[in-house]
Structure 1
Amino acid sequence: MLEQQLINALSLGSVYALFALGFTLVFGVLGVINLSHGAIFMLGSYAALLLVEKMALPLWLAMLAAMVATGLIGLIVDVLVLKPLRKRNAPHLIPMIATIGVAIMLTNLAQGLFGAENKRFPVGTIPEDSVTIGNLHVTAVQVGIVVIAFVLMIVLLAVMRRTQLGRALRAIAESPKAAYLLGINVEGLFYLTSFAAAALGGAAGVLVGLSFNAISPFMGQPMLHKGIAVIILGGMGDIRGAMIGGLFLGFAEVLTVAYISSDFRDAVAFGLLFLILLVKPSGMFGKVLERKA
């Protein structure tokens, strides 16, 4: 049934978009592709799981705490890894390689602490309520995923477009040196960006964990590939592009599984991505802006 597949696609695409938002935020402001974002996404799922299991926190509070925890991890990565490289004016490739190392370390740490097998939320944690209209079946989890993802995306977009903080971040994205000369606390906003981006990644991790009720140390790597595809499709550093690109990828995957075969899910989705980039190499939202000195 097409309507059911569209609901499933909207739920999956919302998570992709939310994950990609944190990815594109770091690239837009710091000018870095943070390849540890997938591992931080994975840690968000585990943080929520531990808070629910060990501390019996309600799910909504566990998700907020997981966002704070992953935000702090992102901040630590910035302070210990990205900041020293910024001070040395390292080429763009160096932070990418460094964050690959961070991702491997975090993944191995999670595997050592929690094991390689899938973990699940305790029975009764995930709401089982649903609404059935004819052949259309919508679960409370799907509704929650879409609502939470869109609220976070709209809030971020509003902050970037309509607040003084957003204007300062856009100024840094254009030229960190010029922003510093204008009196903007560039380093402080770098920290804030790293925290916010990692928190969004953590939120996406919790939502994926709830959606599939399966959490593993290796769940971040496939999502990282999807996130890279989404931000390239939408236009590097463009928030609107990350939102629309994530939804596009989610719809492409779900409809491929439903009407072609699950074996061709990634082939069709990334094939469509390839075709779009042939027509518009800079992504859906115009040219990629080059950062000035």
Structure 2
Amino acid sequence: MFWEQLLNGITLGSTYALIALGYTMVYGIIQLINFAHGEVYMIGAFVGLFMVSALGLNIFIALLGAMLCCMVLGMFIERVAYRPLRGKSTRLSALISAIGVSIFLSTLMALIAKTNTRSYPEVIARHTYHLGAMDISSLQIIILGVSAILMVGLQFMIQKTRIGKAMRASSQDLDASFLMGINVNRVISFTFAIGSALAAAGGVMVGIYYNAVWPYMGMMAGLKAFAAAVLGGIGSIPGAMIGGITLGVMEIMGVAYLSSSYKDAIAFGILILVLLVRPQGILGQKMTKKV
């Protein structure tokens, strides 16, 4: 039971990590908590469901389609809701704008798709493989594999590509990056696009794994992913990965050995504990300001 629950926790945590990456990348560059990110995850799940059910596409093509749609959505949100406020108002204004976008997207989807829970069709043949005392399903293998590929690809892009170097420079000093000739607006827009694509991938995989998609699924998942980003160290990409997996494992273990009633409380209990003991998170660094 322990090893199976551990595997379930890692599977769930890998989806939290994909969502948390969007939070941590945006915060690392413009110090904004994008609270509309959970709704992008939700829309990604619905787009994947539409492509599989209505268009009859293969699940992997639907996954790519959902990621592309949410990339466009993420850039649109940044351009309309955040860019006009950047440098012209306080961070509180941007935060309120993010909450407004979150409510708008969830309400819009509730009007379009109603509030009923919808299910993915049988898109992946489910087989169970026995590894010693542990059973692993083909669906878990696919989710873990896709998550690993996306995380490794993101890390490669950040470290080895030109746009990745621009993102790292912008996260260090946005104004200095602008003065050095980096198109800061393009970097920020690209960051929103990549974060939204990862959230969409997480939404599709969660929709398949739990066989349930509904318009308000993004709120709690977004808050838990934010807790995972804080746990790992907000602004740290490896930290978001570690925080998401850690949170998923602890949540599943709490449900298995305590009670399912504590499922949501565990995530926010961990968040409070981390803020009290190590506010910078597992891989975060203390920032000192010279006066």
TM-score (norm 2): 0.94
**How far does residue 134 in structure 1 lie from its aligned partner after superposition?**
5.3
Identity in percent: 37
Asked if structure 2 preserves the Cα contact closer than 8 Å seen for 1:235 and 1:288, the reply is no
**How far does residue 263 in structure 1 lie from its aligned partner after superposition?**
1.3
* 2:216 is equivalent to residue 231 of structure 1: no
SS in 2 for 1:131: strand
Question: For residues 147-186 of structure 1, what are the alpha-carbon distances to aligned partners after superposition, in whole Å with 9 as ceiling and x for unaligned?
Answer: 1111111111122123332221111112121111111111
Q: Distance in 2 between matches of 1:290 and 1:15?
A: 33
Partner of 2:68: 68
Question: For residues 99-136 of structure 1, what are the alpha-carbon distances to aligned partners after superposition, in whole Å with 9 as ceiling and x for unaligned?
Answer: 111111111111111110100112x3133222134552
Partner of 1:94: 93
Partner of 1:270: 268
**How far does residue 30 in structure 1 lie from its aligned partner after superposition?**
2.5
Alpha-carbon spacing, 1:97–1:164, altered in 2? closer, same or farther (3 Å): same
**How far does residue 291 in structure 1 lie from its aligned partner after superposition?**
10
Instruction: Give unmatched runs, 5+ long, in structure 2.
Output: none
TM-score (norm 1): 0.94
* Alignment: residue pair count: 290
Task: Kindly provide the amino acid, as one letter, of the partner of residue 206 in structure 1.
Answer: V
Moved more, 276-285 or 266-275: 266-275
SS in 1 for 2:54: helix
* 2:113 is equivalent to residue 114 of structure 1: yes
- Show structure 1 runs of 4+ deviating over 6 A: none
SS in 1 for 2:182: coil
Partner of 1:187: 185
* 2:64 is equivalent to residue 42 of structure 1: no
Q: Counterparts of 1:165-184 in structure 2 under 5 Å?
A: 165-184=163-182
SS in 1 for 2:135: strand
Q: Counterparts of 1:238-277 in structure 2 under 5 Å?
A: 238-277=236-275
Task: Kindly provide the amino acid, as one letter, of the partner of residue 61 in structure 1.
Answer: I
Q: Distance in 2 between matches of 1:98 and 1:272?
A: 27
Asked if structure 2 preserves the Cα contact closer than 8 Å seen for 1:234 and 1:242, the reply is yes
Alpha-carbon spacing, 1:287–1:150, altered in 2? closer, same or farther (3 Å): same
Q: CA RMSD in A?
A: 1.8
Partner of 1:161: 159
Asked if structure 1 preserves the Cα contact closer than 8 Å seen for 2:224 and 2:267, the reply is no
Q: Distance in 1 between matches of 2:32 and 2:191?
A: 12
Alpha-carbon spacing, 1:139–1:290, altered in 2? closer, same or farther (3 Å): farther
Partner of 2:13: 13
Instruction: Give unmatched runs, 5+ long, in structure 1.
Output: none
Alpha-carbon spacing, 1:37–1:268, altered in 2? closer, same or farther (3 Å): closer
Moved more, 48-57 or 272-281: 272-281
Partner of 1:27: 27
Asked if structure 2 preserves the Cα contact closer than 8 Å seen for 1:24 and 1:238, the reply is yes
